[in-house]
Amino acid sequence: MKRQFWLASGLTLAVAAGLTAVATTAEAAAGCRVAYTVTSQWQGGFGADVTITNLGDPLTGWQLSWTYAAGQTVTQLWNGTVTQSGSQVTVTNAAYNGGVATGGTASFGLNGSWTSSNPAPAGFTLNGVACTGSTAPTTPATTAPTTPATSAPTTTPATSAPPTSAPSTFANPVVWQDFADGDIIRVGDVYYYSASTMHYSPGAPILRSYDLVNWEYAGHSVPRLDFDSNAYDLNGGRAYVKGIWASAFNYRPASSTYYWLGCTEFNRTYVYTSTSIGSGWSKKARINKCYYDAGLLFDNDTPYVAYGNSTISVAQLSGDLTSEVRSQTVYTTPSSIGTLEGSRMYKRGNYYYIWLTRPANGQYVLRSTSPWGPYEQRQVLLNLPGPISGGGVPHQGGLVQTQNGDWWYMAFTDAYPGGRMPTLAPITWSSDGWPVLQTVNGRWGASYPRPNLPWHPLASMTGSDSFTAGTLGPQWEWNHNPDTSKFSVGNGLRLSTATVTSDLYNARNTLTRRIQGPSSTATIQLDYAGMANGDRAGLAMLRDQSAWIGIRKDNGATRVSMTSGLTMSTSGWTTTGTGAEQAGATVSGGRIWLRVSANIQPGSGRTATFSYSTDGSTFTSLGPAFTLNNDWQFFMGYRFGVFNYATTALGGSVTVNQFVVS
């Protein structure tokens, strides 16, 4: 759906609002100014930026409230959290922007919906006090850095940025979501991180950052798993734990083009390209050879690929990356090391480097003055304690040099049941040209000094989605390729049944979202009035051992059910259990809120709990806690999954009006 933006900007309301600091003396005078700017408007919807200027004493936290005169509704918000009751809206600061100095500002943005008109609010209150506009501060005014205005995202609703006065350190993992086998690059002042996704579609997600610490979803390199097999469509087969493994991602300055390259099923390699991170990706080539765990280097515009398991090879590709020019083995891993894989290839000065992992507890590097060798070898780390309590040794990943000349290593840390989490550490170089990992007290640091890089406001990797845009945002991935005729977005997420089955693992169009660690909660608002007899729809904890809460419709009656016992074998990932109801209750009315709260801290015995609500505010627990499987063999961690499938006949549908991860 293409929106017509008939009001781009210019509707700004500036008001002075009385201000009481959360922690100030009783006699402190106060004041503030609020700028409410409608940044874009279309039929039924709008975006707005709001900036609070503190004219009073310093704040340690704030709540801004206003009333919408025409019944507008906030559907998405970033740089804060929002509650709305009728026309009354209250926004509370995020964890990083609660402190506002005298003369300083705090900003947030929102998307909203409207019906007959969209007037700006007539006034605001901050921390419960209305504005007078004439009160002066009692302490000397100081000016805090101003948060730049941000443009509203379409389907990623919240933003997460460092404070305007950033802390001096950062904590690992920098992303507590499942993004494994990463390749990391810098293009100008922007950093991109690409990860593996196995059987999820679209594949090869791309994250974006400006400071290596704060990241946002940016796109996918593989729009659809077009890998010459119907199994990726859940049509006559399944592709669980196949598809996109460790792959290569890089940027070619000569043509201003991004490249993704990956081997599937050990026998063929695909190349995808685009001139834009967030769109335009398409398949360029299939090469009938497996460049296993490949790393891609453009050396004076000549493309080289390092690849292999134990036997490490280098290939030179044709200029258009559609065929091989030359390849040869450059290193054979000695038995004293075991296995090396996960190649990344770099050039620094006169040396070529191949960065290699010893799964799952070591990292090594090869070095040569020629891409064809001979290569020397050094150990970078082995059995190094990691930064996540209960997690594994950071390894694999890649290196990146900042625009300031510093080097950083982004690895991942095994942290099941959640998956493998991106983990950052600084790299220095020895006097004789070898990379040296910087540790803290003999381990990978739980925190380090922040990179010397500017921050930039980013879209949050959690938050709320009301599915009002015409396309899904990059935070979403389907379990296998979807049947595009059986879903739509724009007025909620409408899922028509696409498969007749009793097995969730065989059902098409299950939409997934990564779980935020160490624990988080997903809530969906589900309209189930259109379900047909035999249909099952709801919210799952999805992995090789799964459970769900949802609606069962049978013989014209609907009940909310907590179901567990969905299992796969580790041999071929065939279904060994389709689940059984553990608890249920009769419901009616056509609308329900379903909730899953998940603890994905690494280790055994972690659980998820399920609950439901018929009014959106009071939730009732349903069923026993579900124990999560923390084995690694499935590779991907647990995800939240929204599903709707038929057990009798196609024709039913549900609509998800909101999905919130908090």
**CA angle 48–49–50, rounded 5-degree value:** 120
What pLDDT score was predicted for residue 106? 81
What pLDDT score was predicted for residue 148? 32
Q: Nearest CA to 214 among 460, 520, 473?
A: 460
What pLDDT score was predicted for residue 457? 86
What pLDDT score was predicted for residue 46? 76
Rounded Cα gap, residues 450 and 454, in angstroms? 10
What pLDDT score was predicted for residue 644? 98
Prediction pTM value: 0.78
Length of the chain measured in residues: 662
Q: What is the DSSP string of 559-622?
A: EEEEEEEEEE-SSTT-EEEEEEEEEEEE--SSEEEEEEEEE--SSTT-EEEEEEESSSS--EE-
Structure tokens belonging to residue 286: 């299939």
What pLDDT score was predicted for residue 42? 59
Q: Where are the alpha helices (DSSP H) in 450-561?
A: none
What pLDDT score was predicted for residue 136? 38
Q: Nearest CA to 196 among 293, 314, 88?
A: 293
* Residues in the chain where the model's pLDDT stays below 50: 1-29, 134, 136-165
Which residue is listed with tokens 């608890």? 583
